[in-house]
Amino acid sequence: MQQNPTYSDQTHPVLVIGGGAIGAALAKSFADKGYEVHLASRKTLSLEGIQIHQVTDWSKESLTKLAQRFDSLSGVVVASGLLHDDSQNIAPEKSLDDITSEAMTQVLHVNTVFPALCGQVFLPKLAKDVQSFMGVLSARVGSISDNRLGGWYSYRMSKAALNMFIKTASIELARKNKTAVIVGLHPGTVDSNLSAPFQRNVPEGKLFTPEFSAAKLAEVLLSRTVEHTGKCFDYAGEEVLP
């Protein structure tokens, strides 16, 4: 009898895209589980037991060149994101008056367009002989039904659009790879450069270390099945509704 594909077969590597705090911690989490792990980063990094691929930019050309290194992958995780950048005058908008086309365009590119390009390049690399996955860092603030505070226009819009990409890509993926899943991931509020200016209002016990969040997200990814594809889940495995 043919066995169902399983994540326990680690013959295919895992690729993490993004060398920030969460990306590096995710790479370490998968390495600890016995996977061959590759980490693509614009930063110069050195992580024991993890193969680093330093890239000069996140263009489609760079992603395509990176993809050529792999025959197939157990999983891909896109661990990049943009909320604020003082050098580009990018900050979460508190009101409509704060919106600028330049900042909104950049946030949408990093949080929506770039993961979509990663999907275009790497979803075809997902293994078909074992269950495989693509996880993309999303955020609870991208949930339209959960939006009760307003503000943060560009970030909310970019993550809501990202969630739609994940859903749409899951439909196409299901036709091409019957054992692969693509899901969004809400890591919680992680102690990182992205969240640093906004940590004072985080409830006690809800500011996570990158290592804690990454370990949780890795468990979530490795427990997803095809019935979960196209959805978004938080670090505890609970679905984040659109």
Please give the sequence-ordered ranges of beta strands (E in DSSP) within 193-231, or none if there are none: 207-208
- CATH architecture entry for 14-234: 3-Layer(aba) Sandwich (3.40)
Digitized pLDDT (tens) for each residue of the chain, 242 residues in all = 334 444 545 779 999 999 999 999 999 999 999 999 999 999 888 898 999 999 989 999 999 999 999 999 999 999 999 999 989 999 999 999 999 999 999 999 999 999 999 999 999 999 998 899 999 999 999 999 999 999 999 999 999 999 999 999 999 999 999 999 999 999 988 876 666 566 566 666 667 899 999 999 999 999 999 999 999 999 999 999 99
∠ at Cα 55 (130, 67), nearest 5°?
Answer: 30
Can you list the pairs that 198-202 forms with residues at least 24 positions away whose Cβ atoms lie under 8 Å?
Answer: 198/92
Contact status, residue 173 vs residue 230, Cβ threshold 8 Å: no
Residue carrying the six token digits 């991208």: 142
**Alpha carbon of 74 to those of 53, 153, 156: distances in Å?**
18, 35, 30
